[in-house]
Amino acid sequence: MSLSRIKRVVWTAVKLFTVFTLLIGLAYPLAFVGVGKVFSDQAQGSLLVHDAGAKVPSGKDRVVGSRLLAQPVTKPGYFFYRPSASENGADPQLSGASNLSPFSGELKDLISERRRLIAQREHVQPDMVPIDALTVSGSSLDPHISVSYAELQIARVARERGVDEKVIKQTVENNTERVLNGFEDSKVVNVTALNFALDEL
C-alpha cells in the first residue's frame, strides 16, 4: 500500500472518529438532556411536593411520593388502590404480579375474599365491586384505579374525613386522567395524586 493511500485511510478514520464522537458523545446526550428539561416533571420522577405554606411535621420531607407509584394505605380516610401481590402492600422492592393462572382455584378464592371484604368496607352489595378492585396489576405498583372503584369509595372517605361528598367527588374528578388502553380512550383515577390532594384540602 502506497504512502498516499495510507494517509487517505488514516485521514478518513480520523474524520469518522471525530464526526461520531460529536454525534454520539455530545449531540445525542445533549438532545436527551433537552428533552428532560422540556418534560422536567416526568424526568425528575413526577414528585408530589407539599406547598410552601403547608404544615409539615418537623423533620419530614415535603416530598411525599411520586404520582407514578402506589403507596401503602392503612387509614380509612383515604382511597385504596388495587390489591398488591406483596404482603407489605405497594412495596417497590417487591414489584410483580401474583403469577396465578386465570383458572387457579387459589385466585378464585382470593377474588371472592377480596370481594367480600371490600363490599363490607364500603357498605355495598358484593356485585357492585368492580373487577380492578379484585385483581393485582402487573407491577403491584400501579397508582390508577377505575372511575367506578373510586366512586365506590367516595361515601366512606367523606364520612371518615367529615367532608361533604360533593367535595370528595370533585377531588376525584380533578385527579381523573385519560388513557389510551389499546382499544379505546378511557378514564382512570390516580390514587396517589388523589390522596395527596385530600391532605391538601
* HSE toward the beta carbon, residue 77, CA cutoff 13 A: 9
| pLDDT score, position 192 | 92
Length of the chain: 201
The three cell numbers locating residue 42: 416526568
| pLDDT score, position 148 | 95
Q: Where are the domains of the chain?
A: 3-41, 46-200
Instruction: Please report which confidence band the pLDDT of residue 190 belongs to, taking 50, 70 and 90 as the band edges.
Output: very high
* 35 or 149, higher pLDDT: 149
* DSSP label at residue 55: -
153/130 Cα distance (integer angstroms): 11
Which among 139, 121, 127 is positioned nearest to 78, based on CA atoms? 121
200/54 Cα distance (integer angstroms): 8
Q: What predicted TM-score, i.e. pTM, was given to this entire model?
A: 0.71
